[in-house]
Each structure stands twice: as structure tokens, then as C-alpha cells.
Structure 1
Amino acid sequence: MSDQTWLTSPEGLTLLRPFAGAPYPHPSRAQGHTYQGKLFDAATHYADSTVGLVIPAGFAPTQSTDFIVHFHGWGNHVSNVIEHHALRKQLAASGRNAILIVPQGPKDASDSGCGKLEEAGGFERLVREVAQFLKADGKIPTERIGKLTLSAHSGGYKVTSAVLEHGGLAPNISDVLLFDASYGGLEVFAAWGAQRNHRLLSLFTAHLASENFQLQTLLQKHGATVATLLEQAPGLDEKALRQRRPTLIHTLDLLHDDVLMKRSYFELFLKTAS
């Protein structure tokens, strides 16, 4: 798939395109980043301003556009994220009338940084730039932004918490979906998730059990009623996920890399959003 060319598939339209508001390049990684003695140089890992866009089959333009913004984890890049985790297929199957945005974070690097999207207002600048492009390209009729869902896998937690703290468009954010992504930012997630009409879902494997116990405690301190679920084959009850309250879900058998797609939980979590 070449840059700036929409790819048509049965699941919808997909585009990989550079945007000025994408996380990188950014001064914070001008010298690259070192993790456990390994250098991830700037030219290879922090120069790509690609953002993936997916318009699902059956998308019906309205006077405001809902968006899902997914933040990937370590050691990944946008095209692989979309394909490996079957995001295009799951979005279409969910029936959500929303456009998916997948910004390129650190490219194939062990790093949770997210450059411009960690800055105050950086998230809003990118979403508005995407909306402006889509309107100019004839895909949506206005630049008005509707509801926003934030989705994070693994290391995507850091930028997600930054977006909630100071990224802008706070009144539009209705759902936060954490896929084994509760490594940090727990106070931010708790403060946000405890608010009325916010839905926070955290699906976690055993290695993040203590962090989710801490998240539950913080949510309760903020006055939230927290639902806790055990997940195992064949999967979760759709009704339990439709409640607008914080829900922590401990998977008993899914692996860290499987939480998004093995049982189509990206699809289910989107389907059950308001």
C-alpha cells in the first residue's frame, strides 16, 4: 500500500499518510532513545510521521464525525498494527459509525514516548488536522468532531494518559479502552474513569494484576463503582460491557499480544460503546 493512496477492501478504505501533527519527528527524540543499552536512532525510529486512517465499510457521514484513536505498543509500526491485530476487520464488524486513526509512535522501538501527542493540545491538533483532510478529500461533510474513543495496547498507555490530562477535546472523549496497557498513568485513568458517562475498560493479563488492583482502589477513592470480571474462553458477555462504569477484566489465558484480536475484543469493546 503506497502512501496517500486509499486501499479498498471488503472491510472499507485504508490510507497511510504523513500528518504534521503526528507524534514524530520531535525534539524529545532528536538523539534517538536508548533502552537497556540499545540505541534506537532518530532516523530509523523517530522520523516517520505516518498516520493510518480506516473508514469502515458502511460508514455513513453525518454532521459530526466520531473517531477511534488507537495507540500501539512497543516494537511496532502502523501498517503492521492494522494488519496483525485485524483492526480494519474488527472495526467493520463492530458496526461503529466511526473512523479509526492510528498514529505512528516510536517505530519498531522499545519506547512508550509519543512526541507531539504528549504536548498540551497535541492530540487535538492531530485530530483536527485529520478531520480537515478528510473533509477536503470528500470523505466527511464537515470538520466537526463527535465522540472520541481512545484505545491503547501495551506501551500506548503513556500517550493515552497524556491525552486525558492535557491533550484537548476532553468533552468529546467518551471511552478509554486499555488492552494490557495499565503500566502507569493510573491516577489519570482513575480520575477520568470515575466521572459520569465515561467508560473505562481495562483488559489485563496476569503480569498487570497488581496495577489493576491499584487502579480499582484509585477508582473507588474517586467514588466509582467498579465492575471486575474474569475472562476466559469462549469470551465476555456483551451485556456486562455496555454498562457505563469502570470495568476491569482479568484474562486467564490470553497472551499479551493476543488481547486485541484473538477473541475480537477490539470489535466487542467498540460494539458495546454508547
Structure 2
Amino acid sequence: MSANLSTSLSVLAISLASVLAAGLTLAPPERAHHQAAGAGAPIPRPAAQPAHVATVAVRTIRIAENTAPPRANRFAFDRTEGFKLAVAERASKAQAAVIARWSPNRPLIQPFAVPTPRHVRRKDFAHLFRVPLKQPRTTLVSLSSAPFPYNGRVPGTGEAFLNASTEGRLAHRTRGGRLYTADETYSDNRSLFHIPKGFDITQPGVIVLFFHGHGAMLKRDVWERQRLPAQITASGVNAVLLAPQFAVDARDSSIGRFWQPGALRQYLNDAARQFAALYGEPGTEAEFARMPIVVVGYSGGYMPAAWGLAHGGVRDRVSGVLLLDAMYGHQASFFNFIRRSPSAFFVSSYGRYTRNGNDSLRRVLADVGIDAAPSLPSVLRGGSVALIEATVSHRDYVTNAWAPMPVADVLRRMPGVGRIAAPGRVASRR
């Protein structure tokens, strides 16, 4: 289009140059009402055109198909200096010399300056076409960066993780002496993904990263019994859920590939791609990849929570930590996270089995001047620390700790996170 416009202006310049060189006067075209330079009155039409006056026809230039020409009162060049510059830039040196001799006092037709359309890249306006989901998306997806399968070594000991065998099958013997085969217990690389109805990628959101405890299976326990997808939805917060499978239905806190430095960050990057696909907009992968995280660890999930905060390479993305009866160890890792992450909150709810671990953390925090509240503040701002006693059944802790649906309760108290539109007002993507 720019080339066509340049060519048209050059043709017009040549015509004008020829007319001016011959000392001729331009006559206004039919049905055009042009204003004299610096005056408000229309140029009077001569009664008759002398023989030496030439008429130059000016054609309307359209910039695209089915595009109406600009209105006569918009984008008009100044008929003196502005017009000369526009034409001179596109004319040859000889033509420019002729145009430069033109007298600005002589009446001249004002051609319309055709505005050049700005090329808008998709990313500049793609968000206008992203609408909240009409239906929730909940599914199990396999990821190559999941904790298992894993055939590496256990940090600190240098011992191979698959350190035993039974009936020709590789196995892992836990510190407590239990024996689990790799194919049954450490081969599930699936993760639970949930995007609630109404989730909107254009609004501030968070990823709830849930680490399950012993004896768990994603669909049976995390999805159905502990109702994590339902809690995310019930919160009314613009949040999504991600829960990796660790040891399947076993009393083992091994975290497999997540023992490797930076492995958790890689896992989250891979999960971002899956979230974008589930959301229906592959182009949103980058938004999911930088979305803040709330780490939730239940029971034996303290191990991946503590290790991930210390070695996972994700501390810059963590906006909060929630432990549900999970302070069985690694208090030093949680203490260091609290001390080094003043913009994040930390909440630990405990029963009789984890009371000692929470009391120990409370003391070391007090030694450095950090007070741990005994209950949740109404707003969980950065730096909030709460250690809450809730003596309920350990098995039911994820659904009923200090309150029903504790994960949803924490999400509702987070400031700066988008809220999902009320049902019935959610637009559909499909």
C-alpha cells in the first residue's frame, strides 16, 4: 500500500511540475469546495476558462478494497509548505526544483493526505478475544517432567533410588523398610489440572500447587475425596489447580525427579503449556508460566514443599505457602523461606501430630522478631505468618481444618487476585 501511495504521489508531482513549469493555473475540480490559503471564503469559480488554463483531474486513491475515501474535511495537507514537502520528497531533483519555485500565494487544490493504517500484531489485541471459560476443565495429564518415573539417586546419601528388586522387578525400599515396586508405585507421571468455570487469563490469577500425602491417588483422593478442584471453584478466585502424583497409594514421601535442582521450575514450565491448551489459547502459555504460585502441602507433602522452596528454583514465583498438618520436618527450610520472602505469606495449620514442629518454628521465628499469629488475618498480605491449631481428624484436614474448605478460605483472603464473574455472566469461548 505504501508503494502504491508513493507512486500516486510521484505521478501527481510530475503533473503539477509540468503545469507549473508551463506557467499554468490549476482549476478546481467539479463539485469540490476548497478553502483559500489562510482564508475562510471559498475560492471563486472563474466565469470562463481562458485557453491557456489547463485542468488537472485528481483521482481519489483508496487504500484498500471496500474502503470509503476520507471525508473532505479530514487529514488535509497544508497547501503551502506541507504540500510542497510531501511532493518534494517523492519527486526527482529536477521536479523538486520546479515545485520549490511555486508561489505559496497561488491558490492550489488541496489533495487529501491518506492516513497509513498501523499494522497491529496479534499480541496487541489478542486479549480482547479471550473470554472466561463457560465450563470447568478438569483432567489428568502426563508430563515428562513429573516426579516419577525416577531412576536417579537420593540426595544426601548418594544411594540409588531404585535400591532393591523383587521377582525380577526394580523396587525401592524406604527407610522404614517398606518395599514398593517401580512399575506399580513409581511409574505414574500424570498430574491433575483444573481450570474453574469463569477463569480469565486477562485478570490477576494464581496457580495452586498441591502436594498430596501418603496413601494417595490423584483421582480417588485429591480430586474426589479431598475435593481440591471443587475448593478452587468454590473460592470464587481466579485460580487454577496443579497436583502432581508422587508415590501411588504408598506410605512414602519420596519426590523423585523433584530432588534435582531446578526440576520444579521445569515442571511448572511444562504445566504452563498444558494449562494454555486446556484454556483453549496456546498463546497464553507465557502468562501461565509466570503466574504466581501458592504452594499447598498436606501431611507427607511437606517434603516436596520444603525441597521445592529450597531447591526448586521457584521461590521468586511463590506468593504464599499453606501447610495442612504437614510440619513433620524441614523446619529450617520453611524458616528460611519466611525470612527471605517478605512479600509472601506463610500459614501452617496443625493437629496433635505436628504440634511440636509448629512450636519449634514459632520459637525460632520469635528469636528473629517475627510474630506468628494464632489465627488467620482477614487479609493475607505479604509477610503474614500464621500458625493455627485445628484438632480435627488428620484424614479430613484438607476439607475441614480451622474451617470447611481451608484452601478456598485462604484464597479468598488473598489481595490483588482477580475474582471470577458471577454465574450467568460468563461469556463462552466455544
- TM-score interval, normalised by the smaller of the two chains: 0.7 to 0.9
* CA contact 1:23–1:103 (8 Å) conserved in 2: yes
Structure with higher RCO (Cα < 8 A, 6+ apart)? 1
Letter in 2 for 1:48: D
3-state SS of paired residue (2:216): coil
CA distance in 2: counterparts of 1:181 and 1:41, whole angstroms? 26
Specify which of 259, 265, 277 is matched with residue 118 of structure 1. 259
How far did residue 13 of structure 1 move? 1.3
Amino acid at match of 1:124: R
The answer as to whether partners of 1:63 and 1:142 remain within 8 angstroms in 2 is no
Aligned residues: 257
In 2, distance between residues paired with 1:211 and 1:110?
20
Q: Larger radius of gyration, structure 1 or 2?
A: 2
Query: Which residue of the other structure, out of 248, 254, 268, is the alignment partner of 2:387?
Result: 248
In structure 1, the residue matched to 2:30 is none
Distance in 2 between the 1:85 and 1:268 partners? 15
Task: Note if contact 2:325-2:394 (Cα within 8 Å) is conserved in structure 1.
Answer: yes
Give the deviation of 1:238 after TM superposition: 6.3
- Is contact 1:191-1:219 (8 Å) kept? no
Contact 2:294 2:318 in 1 (8 A): yes
Provide the residue aligned with 1:142 in structure 2. Answer: 285
Give the TM-score normalised by the residue count of structure 2: 0.56
Task: Give matches, 1:138-177, under 5 Å.
Answer: 138-139=280-281, 141-144=284-287, 145-177=290-322
SS in 2 for 1:74: coil
Larger displacement relative to structure 2 (186-195 or 208-217): 186-195
Select 2:194's aligned residue among 38, 54, 61: 54
Aligned with 2:231 (options 71, 90, 95): 90
CA drift at 1:208: 1.2
In structure 2, the residue matched to 1:19 is 143
**Do the aligned residues in 1 keep the contact of 2:379 with 2:414 (CA within 8 Å)?**
no
Q: Does residue 324 of structure 2 align to residue 179 of structure 1?
A: yes
CA-to-partner distance for each residue in 1:115-147, whole Å, 9 max, x for gaps? 111211111001100112333452462323121
TM-score, normalised to structure 1's length?
0.87
Which residue matches 1:100? 241
Q: Deviations for 1:208-265, whole angstroms, at most 9, x for unmatched residues?
A: 1111110111222343221124xxxxxxx6627567411000113x111111103111
Superposed CA RMSD in Å reads 2.1
- Tell me whether 1:211 sits opposite 2:357 in the alignment: yes
Which of 208-217 and 31-40 deviates more?
Answer: 31-40
* 1:191 and 1:222 in contact (8 A); partners too: no
Alpha-carbon shift at residue 84 of structure 1 (Å): 0.6
Unaligned runs of 5+ in 2: 1-133, 154-160, 163-169, 416-430
Indicate conservation of the 8 Å contact 1:238/1:268, yes or no. Answer: no
Quote how far apart the aligned CAs of 1:169 are.
Answer: 2.3
Asked if the contact 2:211–2:243 (Cα under 8 Å) also holds between the matched residues in 1, the reply is yes
Identity %: 28
Shift of 1:41: 1.0
| Paired position in structure 2 for 1:223 | 369
For the 8 Å contact 1:64–1:143, the answer to whether it is kept is no
